[in-house]
Structure 1
Amino acid sequence: MTFDPLFIAMAGDEAEVTPEAGGSKAAQLWRMGRLGLPVPPAFVLPTALCAAVNSGEAGALAALDRGLAAGIARLEAATGRSFGDARAPLLVSVRSGAAQSMPGMLSTVLDVGLNAASLRGLIRLTGNPRLAWDSWRRFVQLYAEVVEGLPAAPFEARLAELIRAEDVAAESELDGEALERLTHEFLALAARQLGRPLPSDPRSQLAAAARAVYRSWDGRRAQDYRRLNGLDGLAGTAVTVQAMVFGNAGGTSGAGVAFSRDPATGERRLYLDFLFDAQGEDVVAGRRPPGNGERLAARLPAVAAALAAGAERLERELGDLQDIEFTVEEGRLFFLQTRAAKRTPRATLRVLVDFVREGLLDPATALERAAAIDLDQVRLTRFAEPAPAVATAVVAAPGVASGRAAFDSLRAQAFAEAGEPAILVRHDTSTDDVAGFAAADGILTAVGGRTAHAAVVARQLGKVCLVGCAALRLDPGGRSATLGERTIAEGDWLSLDGADGSVTLGRRAIVAEAPEAELAELERWRRATAEPVALQGD
């Protein structure tokens, strides 16, 4: 079995990367590179290897190793850096990508190639010790979780302890010396749990990370997502290996997610979450509250303008609302991913109407896409009567919902099976909860952002989703939570308002109204594109 890697954003006549061969992520990277957008060089190993690697076929594992070696050699030539080098190291990300997007359901490992020698090289190359230590501690934790299967909780607990001990507000405020100590503690923590140290050889790290990304295809959350979305016919995930760019390089760096239009309402405006001095996983995992586009534009106006122009161009070229992941490294913008955005049915309808008006789609194509919309779900919902709020949160998906509080996915599913609506109440929006999202009528979290992968999935499912509720405190052991000064037990009624982000107690009546203007436009297209009736002669 031989599978050659496909190359992206490198010099030479590379073959086209298709979603079927290289996954949708790599295919869109290839397209962005051809459009002249700044894309870090990358290569992809195909979806066709996934099942064979996961079953342990010797030929597939050998093909994987050959493909990684060939791809790294090309990346080294493209970047002028050497993988694992002590002077000018190349570091890479290892990412998933099926033929159809599965946001947050598959695995990613960042900063692959770091060890004691390449750490010194990264400091020498960048002159930034904090960046180097921050990247290594991130790699240690992510590799331990994704590749070795260790739990995240001990690493997160130690990070939280250090933040308290250093008397800072967040991990982004830890200095290089604190991050150096944390990295050594993470290495020791992983070694104690595994009974051996993590591998320091960059090529061993890379091979193990690639196998873990392929293996994530068979994980529970990925299987649940495919079942819920009718994607059981996909061949598997590809593995994309891309040169790292560093959003954690300081105050003119960061990572973000941008939608070319509002995925909740369809409004024509850039919908953006951004974290300064951060890597992409900080944003999409939803564990840190991000800022919005105004902060990015105030500090880096040229980057904000380039991002908006790139989003508009991608929307025109691809003919759909786009979900874009990007990184800014010391004031330089890089596009890391684009895909057709998951959005509410209501937003889908508005986008189709606006695209026709703007000349991006013709009515016949828009009607074909509209056929997939459940028109019952495009109704605008609101509560019939006002009620006093006990808390507020950030709106990640609109609408309203009343249901019984459920503190895990199994309980939300149990309420749904009993015919009771449920509100899934969680600390953060984890994609491990995808089955609970499907069962619940709404989702409420204590932390997280509007563009985290789990919020994206909630929008796609048409669920009300409020995130970043600062007043929410959960007590998982006691099956209860507090909202400000009020205590709620599992099974108590909660109501979420996706218009203003308010959380109220008790069950509330809901009123639904149809978006008459957009539905009328849909009907006008149908009449205009209908086949004329042939008249019978005398």
Structure 2
Amino acid sequence: MSEFAPLFIGIPGTADTLSVETAGAKATQLWRMSRLGLNVPPAFVLPTGLCAAINRNETDALEALEQGLRDGIAPLEAATGRRFGDARAPLLVSVRSGAAQSMPGMLETILDVGLNAVSVRGLIASTGNPRLAWDSYRRFIQIYGEVVEGVPAAAFDAALAGMISSEGVDGESSLDSEALERLTHEFQAIVIRAAGHPIPDDPMAQLSAAARAVYRSWDGARAREYRRLNGLDNLAGTAVTVQVMVFGNAGGKSGSGVAFSRNPATGANELYVDFLFDAQGEDVVAGRRMPGDAALLAARLPGPAQALAAGVKRLEREFHDIQDVEFTVEEGRLFFLQTRSAKRTPRAALRVLVDLVDEGLLDRATALARASAVDVAAAGTLRFATRPAAIARAISASPGVASGRIAFDSASAKARASGGDPVILVRHDTSTEDVGGFAVAAGILTAVGGRTAHAAVVARQLGRVCLVGCHELTIDETGRRGEIAGLAIEDGDWLSLDGESGEIALGRQEIVTDLPQVELAAIDSWRQP
């Protein structure tokens, strides 16, 4: 068997054993979830060893990629009873990245690969859901256009906004199938104008281009910056996982979400969920829509909610650590798409270690080794010396307090930080393109977004205070000014964020630190003979 042959996940009769170094962490954890009996869509993975050679355009590597994709698709067709590009029961796949260590949001993913003018009709016929089919098709065109062809996202966003306005609805989730069909044709025209050619109809050509784009994302600016900030320059590259699509955008009993087995901001032993109904996974992690929480999921979909809670705790027991789980519900059926050790604040890291030892999930020696990597100085609870008058509130995605000068973009944040001032990065929504701004900011404030968006995950990992979903914040980025609750703010003004209460205040505040004495005492006791 070739060293670049596909390795399979969740397909009966295959007995591949995956390693993190070869298959990347994402695919390896998928394989382990499937072995635990959790509901994982079938998939195959092409190895990290192809990444550098693909990005150098080496002929042998490109041929190995094409052969690997052909060899991988056939078992997915057999496992599902669908055919790639079929006119009656089409198979659609996602193409996902995954390095040996998690890099949340830094690499590319392309969903709904395999759609064309024929298979979209097959999807309508096989599901009886024309809205699902056209919603998936327009999503595919946009993400393929952006990632593979380099079409600016703004062009698609403008067309979507225009369609929402012309239809007189309050958002994309309210567009009907006829409007989404027209939007799909608009998106196709945008790609042709920008790229000079249409997206290929041939599903295998789509798949090949998507896989090469995911490999290329390893060398993208944000991925390089993330590796630099986190000391990951020794990684070989990303793997590429091709997985059967499941549809969170299939209606009111469907959706996508992210669940943490414990609160990654505080360490509290509670299920921590962001979930969007009738949405695909990228909607959640992009942070552009306001998700619901575990209580809302349980109220509307109690069966999947119970299965999720049980599955997440099972994964925590399996991996002996707090887990970050991505999942989709398709017409009331739960699918697990990813698990990884969760990014957490230093404060949460200490509490989780103490609780895992107390619960018998972790031995003291292992816990002590993990504790040695925690920045204890950053684990304290920050608070303002005096409580300021709040002008607005937002959702806390990462705790603590921060006071700094406003910057409306990452470049401005870097410039102010280089001058010695603390910075509050204020954005309508954040993306992982802002990772350079996160690195220098003391705090982050957004108008929209959820606690489990990739940007919020990165903010927690970096130990930055992060408040999201401030409905009272509006920004005029071209004028470098904005308003919070009707009060004007400008670039360079002082702003203060409280990540415990979610409160926002104008002006500069004095900050004091309270260390986690209970957790530190417990950890110290482990060192006693």
| Bin of the TM-score, shorter chain as denominator length | over 0.9
The alignment partner of 2:527 has SS state of helix
1:99: which partner in 2? 100
Deviations 1:86-116 (A, max 9, x none): 0110000000000000000000000000001
2:442: which partner in 1? 441
1:111: which partner in 2? 112
Deviations 1:110-152 (A, max 9, x none): 0000001000110111000000000000000000001111110
Deviations 1:264-308 (A, max 9, x none): 000000000000000000000001111111111011101000000
Aligned partners of 1:346 and 1:378 also within 8 Å: yes
1:534: which partner in 2? none
Task: Letter of the 1:3 partner, please give it.
Answer: F
The alignment partner of 1:204 has SS state of helix
Task: Letter of the 1:353 partner, please give it.
Answer: V
Task: Letter of the 2:117 partner, please give it.
Answer: A
Instruction: Give me the whole-angstrom Cα distance separating, in 2, the residues matched to 1:386 and 1:324.
Output: 36
2:320: which partner in 1? 319
Deviations 1:413-470 (A, max 9, x none): 1111111100011111200010110100000011110000010000000000001111
1:421: which partner in 2? 422
> How far off its partner does 1:504 sit?
0.6
Alignment of 1:90-489 (within 5 A): 90-489=91-490
Instruction: Give me the whole-angstrom Cα distance separating, in 2, the residues matched to 1:503 and 1:153.
Output: 30
Aligned partners of 1:397 and 1:465 also within 8 Å: yes
1:6: which partner in 2? 7
> How far off its partner does 1:154 sit?
1.2
Instruction: Give me the whole-angstrom Cα distance separating, in 1, the residues matched to 2:168 and 2:274.
Output: 26
Instruction: Give me the whole-angstrom Cα distance separating, in 2, the residues matched to 1:390 and 1:519.
Output: 35
> How far off its partner does 1:2 sit?
5.1
**TM-score, length-normalised on structure 2?**
0.99
The alignment partner of 1:527 has SS state of coil
> How far off its partner does 1:410 sit?
1.3
Instruction: Give me the whole-angstrom Cα distance separating, in 1, the residues matched to 2:128 and 2:102.
Output: 37
> How far off its partner does 1:476 sit?
1.3
The alignment partner of 2:199 has SS state of coil
The alignment partner of 1:503 has SS state of strand
Task: Letter of the 1:183 partner, please give it.
Answer: T
2:523: which partner in 1? 522
2:37: which partner in 1? 36
Instruction: Give me the whole-angstrom Cα distance separating, in 2, the residues matched to 1:119 and 1:341.
Output: 37
Task: Letter of the 1:300 partner, please give it.
Answer: L
Bigger shift: 258-267 or 154-163?
154-163
Aligned partners of 2:111 and 2:143 also within 8 Å: yes
The alignment partner of 1:148 has SS state of coil
Instruction: Give me the whole-angstrom Cα distance separating, in 2, the residues matched to 1:293 and 1:167.
Output: 31
Alignment of 1:494-505 (within 5 A): 494-505=495-506
2:23: which partner in 1? 22
CA RMSD of aligned residues (A): 0.8
Instruction: Give me the whole-angstrom Cα distance separating, in 2, the residues matched to 1:160 and 1:396.
Output: 28
The alignment partner of 1:324 has SS state of strand
Aligned partners of 2:41 and 2:337 also within 8 Å: yes
Give the count of matched residue pairs: 528
Instruction: Give me the whole-angstrom Cα distance separating, in 1, the residues matched to 2:139 and 2:348.
Output: 36
Deviations 1:224-267 (A, max 9, x none): 00000000000000000000000000000000000000000000
Structure 1 vs Structure 2: percent identity of aligned residues? 69
**TM-score, length-normalised on structure 1?**
0.97
Deviations 1:303-328 (A, max 9, x none): 00000000000000001100000000
> How far off its partner does 1:74 sit?
1.0
Instruction: Give me the whole-angstrom Cα distance separating, in 2, the residues matched to 1:163 and 1:17.
Output: 45
Task: Letter of the 1:186 partner, please give it.
Answer: F
Task: Letter of the 1:172 partner, please give it.
Answer: S
1:89: which partner in 2? 90
Instruction: Give me the whole-angstrom Cα distance separating, in 1, the residues matched to 2:389 and 2:369.
Output: 43
The alignment partner of 2:528 has SS state of helix
Bigger shift: 151-160 or 110-119?
151-160
Instruction: Give me the whole-angstrom Cα distance separating, in 2, the residues matched to 1:283 and 1:441.
Output: 24
Task: Letter of the 2:446 partner, please give it.
Answer: T
Structure 1 gaps of 5+ residues are 529-538
The alignment partner of 1:116 has SS state of coil
Structure 1 residues 204 and 135: alpha-carbon distance in aligned structure 2, compared to 1, 3 A threshold: same
The alignment partner of 1:68 has SS state of helix
